[in-house]
Structure 1
């Protein structure tokens, strides 16, 4: 018996999952939050109460060490034969998981400017895992991979073509989540899977994906993880002329602009309060309500745009932290999309039902990026065994 460990690293957190290498049954999972501050480790074992404790973790290396110590009792002497990592950006060349070596890590490091909020931390966890398990197979799973193969018109910008040849194109993100939802639709809703579906991954990072037959046709995110929907701290769609104004009129540096775009905008910037949707919905501050209004309006606008891209829509799927848990957000979006044929089932929406509409189907499906990563590691292990 052996095990697979998955790591999904963010700027100040790492989600993890421990899976049986043969069955992919999840045996343990959780996350480390607030790395570099008052770090907390949450550990969840099926059928047991969640364990929460404070740990010392000044960086991702120490956080990975803490994760390994937390799961050690559940390994029960078994070997970790494979580790899988969420890596946000795979560039134009990677449409499938990649076995990691030094050359691969160096190539992925060169993509850090395209995803500065995520890629450096993803790779930091990779390096920490390789130090802890130098002989273990390490596999990168890319958020951009699901979107490779878009029609050219959905992959390019209206810039001189030389920029496209240099790699300036619409990469799309949240691909691991979309891959899981595509598989779930194929399993439980095959007629919808075969049709035209918009999936709304709504969380601190948020995007939409238009799927036909389970394949990505278009995404609201593009060259970077900044564009498209309003997010927790990122603005989404905006006039690029604003950036020129910041540079020329305000004299802001690229470092200052980067901070504004990645850390000070979105729900946090609009409300002046927080990027936590739960807190915004509970607040009676006018700016909080305005931030929520802007968020839902952008989601509805972009769902309609995705429908236009596909020439129609057969279903809408909500997933991600906000998509799965914020019933008021789902209700507002569906009410605004009534013209497309959606009719909110308020009772099902409030009670956490899977289908929350009459008319066109609107579904709420929990995503599982860790399982997608674990599957990729198992496939890589089997490929190595056959070789």
Structure 2
């Protein structure tokens, strides 16, 4: 038996097939991504079986057919062709927001989908696409159990001091509070740290840095503080999202005639690295640019990481372990070096050669000998966590 983990976005769908061996989920047998799922897009499947080179297959899309609707049969055929001998036990979906409703994985029903759709406005870049993926897979794989796994669930251990906004308590009672996100990634990194670092049971800060970015502090491998809040906008500057912003800016824009849609577009799609640089939301593109505006965006992103790591370190009373993950965190050695140098006052010392050699291909320690803080680069695997969660749900764990 295997579990298929999927992460459906607006223009792409990541997937991975995890074999089930006994009570555990093994390393992915196949991983891939279907890109080009935007309207009028030209989807293609990039996939690889463990130990083999990647294969890229075009997806044929008929006239007036949604690319997403064409991509799922292609994925199904891929599974039938190469893994017909391994039946699917479940499909595990990453769903960004569980709200107050769900703090653990849940078997998807029409009622569950209806409830989760009420949270669309809290994560407009993710939630609607996550749920569209669940619906589509339910139709294409009607005999397979669909399981929703939530990014917010890892942060259910946050205290009231961390979840409460300083607003009218009646709004708090209605669910206007901080939730936290990137939970599947933090859960995976935390599990890896348990295996490689006994010190990680102490005061650990994990930085998930990518197009979406956040920081999470843990003790005893439980979330104690995090930068994202009610929505996936708060905290760090991101690829095209603003991160923390004085709410007075929004009041000012409203006074200038900006409506809800214009403000939402600004905050989610025209800010962050893209907004500051005016060039790109991709850190690699900005590194290659060399323009003053690109450098300002990079420097601001780095500064915000340093600032938030410092704040979360204060929340847990110090720092024993620092871990980088996510596309930027795993691959941008320059950013890691600069962040660690800025955190030297906390006892962080990084080995430049080890840091340069860490390219996101494996779990690596990059701290220098004698560093007061361990520093790790850990490639994340949200799909494997979702598969584990689905297996546990299926077996009543």
Q: CA deviation at 1:95?
A: 1.5
Q: Which residue of 2 aligns with 1:4?
A: 3
Q: 2:264 matched to 1:285?
A: no
Residue among 23, 31, 35 paired with 2:37 = 35
- Cα deviations by residue, 1:290-326 (Å, 9 ceiling, x for unpaired): 0000000000000000000111111110001110011
Q: Which residue of 2 aligns with 1:377?
A: 390
Distance 2:60 2:237 in 1: 34
- Cα distance change, pair 159–56 in 1 and its aligned pair in 2 (3 A): farther
Residue among 42, 56, 59 paired with 1:55 = 59
Secondary structure of 1:141's partner? strand
Distance 2:355 2:86 in 1: 43
Decide whether the 8 Å contact of 1:235 with 1:265 is kept in 2. yes
Decide whether the 8 Å contact of 2:207 with 2:325 is kept in 1. yes
CA RMSD, aligned part only? 1.4
Q: CA deviation at 1:361?
A: 1.0
Decide whether the 8 Å contact of 1:130 with 1:138 is kept in 2. yes
Q: 2:363 matched to 1:351?
A: no
Residue among 127, 131, 139 paired with 1:119 = 127
Q: Which residue of 1 aligns with 2:317?
A: 311
- Cα deviations by residue, 1:248-303 (Å, 9 ceiling, x for unpaired): 12x11101111111111100111111111111111111111000000000000000
Decide whether the 8 Å contact of 1:64 with 1:125 is kept in 2. no
Q: Which residue of 2 aligns with 1:184?
A: 192
Structure 1 unaligned residues grouped into runs of 5+? none
Q: Which residue of 2 aligns with 1:215?
A: 222
Decide whether the 8 Å contact of 1:112 with 1:120 is kept in 2. yes
Q: CA deviation at 1:59?
A: 4.1
Task: Answer with 201-210 or 89-98: which moved more.
Answer: 89-98
Secondary structure of 1:343's partner? coil
Matched ranges for 1:69-148 at <5 A: 69-148=77-156
Decide whether the 8 Å contact of 2:199 with 2:321 is kept in 1. no
- Cα deviations by residue, 1:121-157 (Å, 9 ceiling, x for unpaired): 0000100111012221111000000001211111111
Q: CA deviation at 1:56?
A: 4.2
Decide whether the 8 Å contact of 2:206 with 2:325 is kept in 1. yes
Q: Which residue of 2 aligns with 1:225?
A: 232
Q: CA deviation at 1:381?
A: 2.2
Query: TM-score scaled to structure 2, two decimals?
Result: 0.93
Distance 1:201 1:93 in 2: 25
Structure 2 unaligned residues grouped into runs of 5+? none
Q: CA deviation at 1:68?
A: 1.7
- Cα deviations by residue, 1:337-359 (Å, 9 ceiling, x for unpaired): 11111112111111117122221
Secondary structure of 2:349's partner? strand
Secondary structure of 1:367's partner? coil
- Cα distance change, pair 214–284 in 1 and its aligned pair in 2 (3 A): same
Q: 2:265 matched to 1:259?
A: yes
Query: TM-score scaled to structure 1, two decimals?
Result: 0.95
